[in-house]
Amino acid sequence: MMRNRLVFLFCLFITQVSFSQVTGAYMPAYDFKQIDSLSKIEQGGPPAFSIDPGLIQDRLKKLENVIPLNYNIITHQFVEIFAFRKASFTQRMLEKKDIYFPLYEKYLEKYGLPDELKYLSLIESGLENKAISNKGAGGLWQFMPKTARGDFGMRVDQFIDERFDAERATDAACQYLKRLYKTFGDWHLALAAYNTGPANVKRAMRRCGGANDFWGIYACLPAQTKAYVPQFIAMTYMMNFHWDHSIQPENWVIDIPKDSILVSGYLNLNTLSRLTGFSLDTLRRLNPHIISHFLPKNSQQVKVHLPSNRFPYFEQNRVQIMDSARVDLSAPELMETDTLETEEPVPVAKRYTYRVKGGDNLSTVSRRLGLSVMELKRLNRIKGSHLRKGQVLTYFKLVKTKQRITKKKNKRSNVKSRRKVKHKKKKSKVKKRRKRR
């Protein structure tokens, strides 16, 4: 018995040396500092596990469906990380999963993919719909802009970013995963290719002597990809056995029930939300894929979500609301206007500036201005993560002002009215001359 235990510990030690290159370089988009050394083993001897290895191994076997859930020292490490060091992250995933899992399951079934792939998004984005990685990948499924546009026809520009549309991105992710599995014929290699790209996986296969499985090419993969599949296996375990590790959801995240309309052409979102009777913040939460305060004129069949509790009112007043929201106040022909003030104050976005001071960073400035870091970067087209002293930042705040009812001037009618005035003046002059005579 003692001999077997010593052999097991020796094997763990050898495995530790073999996998010592995994230093936690993988940093998910939801928080780059969240997981700083995900697979780091303390040096000086075999790891001391808090959870019985046999327990995890048996449970993974029972849990395994289509995708292999291998047990080894690496997957065990990640189970313990998500169970102890990062238990708060696991809890957040439990609290948010019900928003997206029904959608994931729907599309996985549509494309005939394994149901357990729904756990992959937790590793990709931490279920943050507007997550952006340090390389520019975005959304729940972390698509790069080039891939999103070129391979899946998503619109990604300064007005609309369909990577943030949960349904659009999930559909594309399922197509991509199906394509990768068809290429490699192995789910672990398909997952690795999703993370680092199929070319890098094929290169690793060549470098590792033609091995055709994930663990066979493990040593030849980039550091973050080495951690990717083990994290997926560990998260699959935690989502099913979290109760046994004293992790349970406390504050469930509830989605806002919504109905949708398709919009083509210009649409002022501030006007739409105000006239329908809900806040602009609610509109933004329901439509993370719309990253501007309006839809441009070249919009084609853009899906706009409205809260279900206001949708009947919108439907009853659809024509009036849409007519008002389609008025482009920046159009040249509307620059000259007659305005009437009403007593009813309404919120209007007002532009402000902030000059960066010494010691400021994106996090402190965004908190001071009441914005998210991503929103601040988007408004000021900041690509990096640093600010320079004296830099002027632009931001917007809603301020209450009296509502102005704008009347469009007809240039032709203005010309006619001027002619009438001139004609009247001429008539009056003629009359005066006659009286003098």
CATH of the domain at 174: 1.10.530.10
Digit-coded pLDDT (tens) for 1-13? 444 444 344 344 3
- Separation of alpha carbons 116 and 230, rounded Å: 14
225 and 112 belong to one structural domain: yes
31 and 175 belong to one structural domain: yes
Digit-coded pLDDT (tens) for 156-194? 998 999 999 999 999 999 999 999 999 999 999 999 999
Question: Is residue 398 in a domain?
Answer: no
pLDDT number for residue 319:
93
Q: Is 186 helix (H, G, I), strand (E, B) or coil?
A: coil
pLDDT band of residue 396 (cuts 50, 70, 90) is: confident
Question: Is residue 378 in a domain?
Answer: no
Q: Letter for the amino acid at 98?
A: D
Q: Is-catalytic flag, 128?
A: no
Could you tell me which residues come within 8 angstroms of residue 365 by beta carbon, excluding any fewer than 6 positions away?
A: 354, 356, 376, 387, 393
pTM as predicted: 0.68
For residue 158, give its domain range.
2-245
- Separation of alpha carbons 40 and 16, rounded Å: 9
- The domain tally of the chain equals 2
- Separation of alpha carbons 97 and 120, rounded Å: 12
Q: Nearest CA to 218 among 202, 204, 231?
A: 204
Spot the catalytic one: 116, 124, 128, 162.
124
Digit-coded pLDDT (tens) for 195-250? 999 999 999 999 999 899 999 999 999 999 999 999 999 999 999 999 999 999 98
- Separation of alpha carbons 70 and 21, rounded Å: 20
92 and 156 belong to one structural domain: yes
Of 212, 245, 278, which marks where a domain is finished? 245
Question: Is residue 391 in a domain?
Answer: no
Digit-coded pLDDT (tens) for 351-368? 788 999 988 888 888 888
Of 197, 216, 245, which marks where a domain is finished? 245
Question: Is residue 282 in a domain?
Answer: yes
- Asked whether 350 and 423 are in contact (CB, 8 A), the reply is no
151 and 291 belong to one structural domain: no
Q: Letter for the amino acid at 183?
A: T
142 and 283 belong to one structural domain: no
